[in-house]
Amino acid sequence: MNKINFLLAAGILVFASAIVFEPARAESFPPISNQTVKTECGDCHMVFFAEMLPRQSWLNILNNLENHYGEDASIDPVSLKEITVFHTSRASDVLNSRGAHKWREGLRAGDVPERITTAPRFVRKHNDNDYKRMWTKFNLVSNADCVACHKDANKGLFDDDD
Amino acid sequence: MKTLNKTNVITAVVLLIGGLSPNLASANSARDTIISGFSSVAELPVSAERGKALFESSPAAGKPDTPSCTTCHGASPMTSGMTRAGKPIEPMAVSVTAERFTDLKKVQKWFRRNCKSVLGRECTAQEKGDFLTFMSSR
């Protein structure tokens, strides 16, 4: 192998690794500080980020808390109002932030995902063997348990390789 | 040194009792008030045995995913349970989780939701009184 070929090969290798090993730029969300949201939502599950679903999804969910994914999760009207304002003002099709933009990608007009796990971004990001492997590895009971794999999820950080 | 040690031990015990008992006492008194509230409108005197039976029963009369209390709270009130979304639930036995059932608003909220989820209806004052009496005895 002559010197030029070697340099060329080395150059290609460096270039290729830069593509392959470029750290994934996952979206991040500002941590949630609203105490009503933290308590009322967080008693049963991780406090999900409003930016993950469009406004109409949150309205449907919050207007039907008596039938909340198999349980009665009804709350007092004052808390409900506060939580509704919080979520609808930060919904994926409302808020102008990097996270919200990412989560509205792939949503067609009129799409109202019933769950975060059926939102296009979730489906796209969990459609591989890693996701299946994590279920076994961490002995997961629910796909609502983001923190099991994304250790900093509560801080709004969802890196791919946690 | 022996005297010092003894003094230290006594001091520690006094501090411990002084520091802990007012909290425990106020938690117990808040819980007693809540239980009295239920028992005052219940037909029968509240009973830990009936509370135990309610906790361990599988009415399956509410929502299909929550046929019994133990679905989420686990078989024993002494140990932690887990929500269906994977979050731990602190043990309900008062001897393990001292601050349990000391906030009436919280108690009413969770009875309302969980009785509807498991029994398909709200619980009666009798059932609530029995249930809390059982948890207080554990």
Report yes or no: B113 at the A interface, CB cutoff 8 Å.
yes
Question: Is A145 inside any structural domain?
Answer: yes
Six-digit token pair at B40? 């005052």
**A138 to chain B, minimum CA–CA distance in Å?**
12
Confidence label for A5 from pLDDT (cuts 50, 70 and 90): low
Provide the pLDDT for residue B11.
55
The 3-state DSSP class for residue A36 equals helix
In chain B, where are the structural domains located? 2-136
Provide the pLDDT for residue A7.
59
Question: Is A161 inside any structural domain?
Answer: no
Question: Is A90 inside any structural domain?
Answer: yes
Provide the pLDDT for residue A27.
74
Question: Is A151 inside any structural domain?
Answer: yes
Provide the pLDDT for residue A3.
65
How much is the average pLDDT of A39-59?
98
**Whole-number Å distance between alpha carbons of B94 and A160:** 41
Using a CB-CB distance cutoff of 8 angstroms, which residues of chain A are in contact with residue B113? 71-74
Question: Is A74 inside any structural domain?
Answer: yes
Give the per-residue SS3 of B48-70. Answer: HHHHHHHHHCCCCCCCCCCCCCH
Question: Is A61 inside any structural domain?
Answer: yes
Provide the pLDDT for residue A159.
82
The answer to whether residues B114 and A72 touch, using CB atoms and an 8 Å cutoff, is: yes
Question: Which residue in this structure is represented by tokens 């009666």?
Answer: B124
DSSP structural state of residue A159 = -
Provide the pLDDT for residue A17.
47
Whether A113 shows a pLDDT value over 50: the answer reads yes
**B120 to chain A, minimum CA–CA distance in Å?**
10
Range of the domain at A62: 3-155
Higher per-residue confidence, B67 vs A22: B67
How much is the average pLDDT of A118-143?
92
ipTM of the complex: 0.83
Provide the pLDDT for residue B22.
76
Provide the pLDDT for residue B10.
59
CATH topology of domain B2-136: Cytochrome Bc1 Complex; Chain D, domain 2 (1.10.760)
**A75 to chain B, minimum CA–CA distance in Å?**
8
User: How do the pLDDT tens digits run along chain B, 138 residues long?
Assistant: 445 566 665 555 544 554 557 789 999 999 999 999 999 999 999 999 999 999 999 999 999 999 999 999 999 999 999 999 999 999 999 999 999 999 999 999 999 999 999 999 999 999 999 999 999 999
Query: Do residue B84 and residue A71 have CB atoms under 8 angstroms apart?
Result: yes
How much is the average pLDDT of A148-162?
85
Residue of A nearest to B64 (CA): A70
Provide the pLDDT for residue A20.
44
Report yes or no: B87 at the A interface, CB cutoff 8 Å.
yes
Instruction: Count how many pairs of residues, chain A against chain B, have C-beta atoms within 8 Å.
Output: 51
Provide the pLDDT for residue A19.
44
Provide the pLDDT for residue B76.
98
Question: Is A160 inside any structural domain?
Answer: no
Sequence-separated (6 or more) residues with CB below 8 Å from residue B118:
B59, B61, B62, B63, B66, B67, B68, B69, B71
Using a CB-CB distance cutoff of 8 angstroms, which residues of chain A are in contact with residue B116? 66, 72, 74
